[in-house]
């Protein structure tokens, strides 16, 4: 019950909304939040009606990172891989995820934004690897090298200074930037745009974006052929052109 209170899961029109609900503590991650996030993303992955997930925080913060008070109380030294649930590392999903950053995303909160496939942010949001200020670290930040220039990554890691949402948008870390009162709508529009597309094509495109970073330019061609094989051989590959010819919306089956 505690986990369910800390994190909620709502589904509407194919879009799952996962919300961290500890606004008075800037949505800092506790045991209850960890359990709630795991439950939410397991539910998202197993739900055939859920096409895209949005992760956000209630109130004026996205997530301030791990709860430092809990760390002191538990005497935690080196955090394990599940200190903060990590998509692509400790949790598996095959469908797109969007981080809707509505305020500060510091430390572990930055990780939650980094781990999602896409990111939207309010104009007043900030992204920071602030662990260095408190004697902690960000060992999970390696993939930032594929998201930000190396010297920006270096500066963030050694200074702990936050990056503004505007700057993150200019650098390509943020996909959509919006006024705070329009962020939810902008994010939902992005999610619905994705959910309208052929599921197997979306899945393959997502896989290729990650495999290309791992395999390099030459290897990415073979990776692309492998990723899209199921999409090309699917019923949806026939349905798409047929719907275009008949001037109607496609009826995707995901097979």
Element housing 238 (H / E): helix 236-245
Could you give the angle at which helices 236-245 and 199-232 cross, rounded to 10 degrees? 110
Here the tokens at position 226 are: 């492998």
Q: Is residue 124's pLDDT more than 70? A: yes
Nearest to 98 by CA among 56, 140, 159: 56
Number of domains in the chain: 2
| pLDDT tops 90 at residue 224 | no
Average pLDDT over residues 5-23: 95
Do residue 237 and residue 155 come from a single domain? Answer: no
What are the pLDDT digits (tens) for 234-247?
Answer: 888 887 888 888 88
Asked whether residue 102 is domain-assigned, the answer is yes
State the average pLDDT over residues 78-107: 87
Comparing CA positions, the residue from 151, 157, 192 lying closest to residue 171 is 151
Please check whether residue 250 lies inside any domain of the structure: no
pLDDT averaged over every residue in the chain = 89
Q: Within this chain, do residues 97 and 115 fall inside the same structural domain, yes or no?
A: yes
Percent of the chain residues past pLDDT 70, beyond the cut: 92
Summarize the confidence of residues 188-204 as an average pLDDT: 94
The tokens for 117 are: 């496939």
Q: What is the DSSP secondary-structure string of 190-206? A: HHHHHHTS-HHHHHHHH
Within-domain flag for 73: yes
Domain carrying residue 226: 199-245
DSSP summary character for residue 30: -
Does residue 254 form part of some domain? no
State whether 14 and 110 are in the same domain.
Answer: yes
- 111: in domain: yes
Q: Are residues 157 and 53 in the same domain?
A: yes
Q: Do 131 and 203 reside in the same domain of the chain?
A: no
Tell me, yes or no, whether 220 and 106 share the same domain. no
Average pLDDT over residues 105-116: 94
Look at the alpha carbons of 179, 12, 241, 226 in this order and tell me if their dihedral is positive or negative: positive
Question: Same structural domain for residues 140 and 223?
Answer: no
- Output the domain CATH number for residue 171: 3.90.226.10
Same structural domain, 135 and 217: no
Cβ 45 vs Cβ 53: under 8 Å: no
142 with 188, same domain: the answer is: yes
In a domain, 75, yes or no: yes
Mark which of 195, 219, 236 sits at the end of a domain: 195
In a 10 Å sphere around its CB, with 0-12 CB exposed, 13-18 middle and 19+ buried, how is residue 215 labelled? middle
Looking at the domain assignment, is residue 13 inside a domain?
A: yes
| 253 domain-assigned | no
How does pLDDT run across 33-81, given as a tens digit for each residue? 999 999 999 999 999 999 999 999 999 999 998 776 666 666 656 666 6
Q: Specify whether 111 is located in the same domain as 206.
A: no
Does 125 lie in the same domain as 93? Answer: yes
User: Which residue from 135, 162, 30, 134 is spatially nearest to 85, judged by alpha carbons?
Assistant: 30
Assess whether 150 and 236 both reside in one domain.
Answer: no
């Amino acid at each position: 019950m505690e986990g369910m209170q800390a994190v909620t899961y709502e589904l509407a029109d194919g879009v799952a909304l996962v919300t961290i609900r500890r606004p008075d503590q800037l949505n800092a991650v506790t045991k209850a939040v960890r359990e709630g996030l795991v439950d939410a993303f397991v539910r998202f992955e197993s739900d055939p009606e859920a096409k895209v997930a949005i992760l956000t925080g209630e109130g004026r913060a996205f997530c301030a990172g791990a709860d430092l008070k809990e760390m002191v109380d538990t005497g935690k030294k080196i955090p394990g891989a599940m200190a903060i649930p990590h998509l692509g590392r400790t949790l598996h999903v095959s469908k797109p995820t969007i981080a809707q950053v509505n305020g500060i995303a510091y430390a572990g909160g930055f990780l939650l934004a980094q781990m999602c496939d896409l990111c939207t942010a309010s104009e007043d949001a900030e992204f920071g690897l602030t662990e260095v200020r408190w004697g902690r670290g960000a060992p999970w930040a390696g993939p930032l090298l594929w998201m930000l220039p190396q010297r920006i990554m270096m500066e963030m890691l050694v200074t702990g200074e936050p990056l503004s949402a505007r700057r993150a948008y200019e650098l390509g870390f943020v996909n959509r930037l919006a006024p705070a009162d329009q962020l939810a709508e902008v994010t939902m529009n992005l999610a619905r745009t994705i959910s309208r597309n052929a599921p197997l094509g979306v899945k393959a495109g997502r896989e290729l974006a990650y495999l290309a970073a791992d395999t390099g330019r030459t290897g990415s061609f073979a990776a692309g052929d492998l990723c899209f094989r199921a999409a090309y051989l699917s019923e949806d590959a026939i349905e798409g052109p047929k719907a275009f010819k008949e001037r109607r919306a496609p009826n995707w089956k995901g097979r």
